């Protein structure tokens, strides 16, 4: 019964991190935080867990019109499927390039690993996604964008593998 599984997963997630940030000559800045995450459950039938967690970001702007962002993080997330929770580790890299006040481009790649903590089958999902987004801003109050994202998940449960392509067209208008 799904409601009894959900009831057993009721509880709290407490994250405690400490770290530092820096800004070097305006071209490079970043931050690193390391700590612990404690996942506790209201039900005595589910074992609590404490583990290492982190967040790190690095931004490098070699030119005013070009920016690279590298990030990595580990977190404990709720699960709607197997296991007590999802232990997620993600690494991202993005490149933002502004051609002119009117045109911009963003390319990004992300690698995500989800471990379903204490799942009966030891489920692990690995997802790789790659994206490209172009922007056009004909005025300060109106923006258009066109993006493409490809994501591929490889799961230890092969019935959950997928390959996905998403094309999006966006418009923003501000008053």
pLDDT single digits (tens) 86-106: 888 999 999 999 999 999 999
Residue 79: which of 115, 35, 45 has the closest Cα? Answer: 115
| pLDDT at residue 37, as a whole number | 87
Beta strand ranges found along the chain (DSSP E): 11-24, 28-41, 49-63, 66-77, 85-98, 103-117, 124-139, 142-155, 162-173
| pLDDT at residue 54, as a whole number | 94
| pLDDT at residue 2, as a whole number | 52
- Are the CB atoms for 77 and 86 separated by under 8 Å? yes
Average pLDDT of the residues of the chain: 88
Residues whose CB falls within 8 Å of the CB of residue 159, separated by 6 or more in sequence, listed in order: none
Report pTM: 0.83
pLDDT single digits (tens) 47-93: 777 888 999 999 999 999 999 999 999 987 777 667 677 888 999 99
């Amino acid at each position: 019964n799904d409601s009894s599984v959900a009831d057993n997963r009721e509880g709290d997630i407490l994250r405690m991190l400490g770290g530092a940030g820096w800004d070097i000559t305006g071209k490079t800045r970043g931050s690193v935080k390391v700590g612990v995450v404690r996942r506790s459950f209201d039900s005595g039938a589910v074992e609590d867990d404490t583990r290492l967690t982190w967040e790190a970001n690095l931004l490098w702007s070699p030119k005013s019109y070009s920016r690279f962002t590298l990030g990595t993080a580990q977190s404990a997330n709720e699960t709607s499927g197997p296991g007590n929770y999802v232990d997620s580790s993600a690494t991202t890299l993005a490149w933002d390039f502004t051609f002119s006040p009117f045109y911009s481009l963003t390319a990004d790649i992300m690698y995500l690993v989800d471990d379903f903590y204490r799942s009966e089958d030891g489920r692990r999902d690995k997802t790789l996604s790659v994206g490209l987004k172009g922007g056009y801003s004909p005025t300060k109050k109106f923006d258009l964008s066109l993006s493409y994202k490809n994501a591929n998940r490889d799961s230890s449960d092969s019935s959950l593998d997928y390959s996905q392509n998403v094309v999006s067209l966006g418009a923003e208008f501000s008053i």
